[in-house]
Amino acid sequence: MKCPYCGNEESKVIDSRPTDEGERIRRRRECLKCAKRFTTYEIIETVPIIVIKRDKSRETFDRNKLLNGLLRACEKRPISVDQLERVVDEIENMLQNSLDREVPSSLIGEYAMKQLQKIDEVAYVRFASVYRQFQDIDTFMEELSRIMKNKK
């Protein structure tokens, strides 16, 4: 495993434990060159999920891309990275468990919005504004009205 600090390819495992109900193994490593520590995760290799984008192009599903989008929506909100990683895990599991190997990006966005709505309404609106490409304040207000109506 390559050290993210110095690039050395030799490290030793300090701690190893299962996470996510045994789906992954979390390993704490120490670089043998610079002695800095870092965490790696080992997961079972699965058949890749292909995401069909709005422009009909295709790319493999990237959980980090989804996590980064959620992190941006949750900036300065009381939501932990662990909560967001669980959301990404749940979405990834739903995708893996479906029989479809190709999924539209819109489906992933809908899954993410559904999860965010449960966690934090502000983060949900932020994510929805980018995902649904609100063009003006009226579209934004329609979404807020819908949220307020569902709250009652």
Q: Digits of tens for pLDDT over the chain (152 positions)?
A: 899 999 999 999 999 999 877 788 999 999 999 999 999 999 877 778 999 999 999 999 999 999 999 999 999 999 999 999 999 999 998 998 888 889 999 999 999 999 998 999 889 888 988 877 776 777 777 877 877 787 76
Distance of alpha carbon 142 from alpha carbon 152, whole angstroms = 16
- DSSP secondary structure code for residue 110 in this structure: H
For the entire predicted model, the pTM comes to: 0.64
Write down the pLDDT at residue 104: 95
Instruction: Yes or no: say if 112 and 70 are a contact pair by the CB < 8 Å rule.
Output: yes
Q: What is the pLDDT of residue 129?
A: 80
What's the confidence (pLDDT) of residue 31? 97
With residues binned 3-state (H G I as helix, E B as strand, rest as coil), the percentages for the chain, rounded to 5, are 45, 20, 35
Nearest Cα to Cα of residue 86 among 116, 109, 58:
116
pLDDT of residue 72: 94
* Residues 2, 8 contacting (CB under 8 angstroms): yes
Which of 115, 102, 111 is CA-nearest to residue 48? 102
Q: What is the pLDDT of residue 56?
A: 95
Please give the pLDDT value at position 152. 65
CA distance 55 to 102: 15
13: part of which helix (H) or strand (E)? strand 11-19
